Structure 1
Amino acid sequence: MKYVLITGGTSGIGLELVRNFARDGYGIVIVSSNSESFKKVKQKLEAEFDIPVVTYEQDMGKIGAAIRLYQRVKEDNLDVFILVNNAGIGLVGSTDKIDLQDDENMMILNVINLVELCKLYISDMYNKGRGKILNVSSVGAFQPGPYTSTYFASKAFVLSYSRAIRYEAKEKSVQVSTLCPGATKTNFFHREGTITPRSAMTAEEVAAYAYKLFMKNKSVIVPGFTNKIKNCLPVKLKMMFVAKMKSTE
């Protein structure tokens, strides 16, 4: 059976993407640091879709997590056909106020382990001559983000890296796409310490749109008409908007 491996797949956009893949008969591999969520999600998915769901408890915010996860999945002989790097966090505040260790952990999660998982699995995909990767970035990737500087920069890295390896992978019959959602009604903003914008899309809407275009081999996926329009605005204007929204000073 072909499996989809997705990090951060127990809630929000990740869980809704899982549901779309499960609906089409893929086996599911969910990676999360929250073991309490696993049991409920696994039971619901297996009951609703009659597909196998494998779970791995792994904190992807630690150095070496990608390699450890890859080795564990290999030992279980699971054929990962699709990799979805969805796990990510954001931090808000001026760069001098955000804790150094918190910033480092975010970069490890958002950038380092994402790259390492891509490198590990894309090599397998090249050898098989098939496979797909979906990296979750953000509309924040398209401009700098005052008072959320490292987070926006990490998502800009994800977008740039993903577009580059997509170019390389097309000759190997492997697809790489990037999802750049805008504000979404998940617990992301709660963890970040800010209020979810009223214009935010639901995770179900984002995932349904993303899944449809991912399966059509779209390079960069931006859900929502408003988000597409915002991307057309001058960078300085977008930076001012972000600064006003994120500043706590």
Structure 2
Amino acid sequence: MEYVLITGGTSGIGYELARVFAQNGFGILIAASNSEKLSMAKNSLSEEFHTEVETYKKDLSKFGAAEELYKEITGGHSEISVLVNNAGYGLKGETQNIGIEEDRNMLILNMMTLAELTKLFLKDRYQKGSGKVLNVSSTGAFQPGPYTSSYFASKAFVLSYSRAVRYEAAKHGIQVCTLCPGDTKTGFFQREGAKTPKVP
């Protein structure tokens, strides 16, 4: 069985991607920081698609957590053939009013965790000559974002980094893609402290 690792796969875009992969016969590996949501996602996916679902409780906004997660997964029986770097969040407000630690944790999650997991995955998959990476960015990657300055900048990093790695990885048989969603009806805006926009 092929396995997909999805960070932030307990809700929103990440969970819907997990459903798509499960429907196509993949084993699902979900990493997130909330135990209750992990349990709910596992039960729901297992019951609906009768596929293997493994969950990993990990706060990926902390230094070193990405490498810990990857070693924990690959040290077991699961071989990851698809990586989906979906976990991320935003902070809203004037930049001087957002706490340094809050900003730091967000930037670690949105950028460093994504880059570290991508590096670890590619190192393994280059030897196999196959594999896929999907990095979730945002339409915010294409412009500066007053009052969401760090978030938009972090998504610009994701887009630029992914496009560069896509070029490098192609000759090794690895596909790297970037998803840049706009406003989506998820829990993202609530986490950010903003009102969820009306989405058609």
TM-score by length of 2: 0.98
Counterpart position of 1:77: 77
Alignment of 1:1-249 (within 5 A): 1-198=1-198, 200=199
Give 1:161 deviation, angstroms: 0.1
The one-letter amino acid paired with 1:190 is Q
In 1, Cα distance between equivalents of 2:134 and 2:72:
21
Over the residues paired in the alignment, what is the CA RMSD in angstroms? 0.8
In 2, Cα distance between equivalents of 1:79 and 1:36:
25
In 1, Cα distance between equivalents of 2:71 and 2:190:
33
In 1, Cα distance between equivalents of 2:152 and 2:13:
18
In 1, Cα distance between equivalents of 2:189 and 2:166:
30
Give 1:44 deviation, angstroms: 1.6
Give 1:192 deviation, angstroms: 0.7
- State the structure with more CA Rg: 1
The one-letter amino acid paired with 1:30 is I
In 1, Cα distance between equivalents of 2:107 and 2:160:
15
Give 1:154 deviation, angstroms: 0.1
In 1, Cα distance between equivalents of 2:157 and 2:51:
34
The one-letter amino acid paired with 1:104 is R
In 2, Cα distance between equivalents of 1:94 and 1:72:
38
Determine helix, strand or coil for the equivalent of 1:184: coil
Deviation digits for residues 32-72 of structure 1, max 9, x if unmatched? 10001122211121111111001000000000011100110
Task: Count residues with an aligned counterpart.
Answer: 200
Deviation digits for residues 71-118 of structure 1, max 9, x if unmatched? 100111211000000000100111111111100000000001110000
Deviation digits for residues 98-154 of structure 1, max 9, x if unmatched? 111100000000001110000000111101000000000000000010111000000
Determine helix, strand or coil for the equivalent of 2:190: helix
In 2, Cα distance between equivalents of 1:70 and 1:148:
30
Give the gaps of 5 or more residues in structure 2: none
Give the gaps of 5 or more residues in structure 1: 202-249
The one-letter amino acid paired with 1:168 is E
In 1, Cα distance between equivalents of 2:116 and 2:71:
12
Question: Percent identity among equivalent residues?
Answer: 59
TM-score by length of 1: 0.79
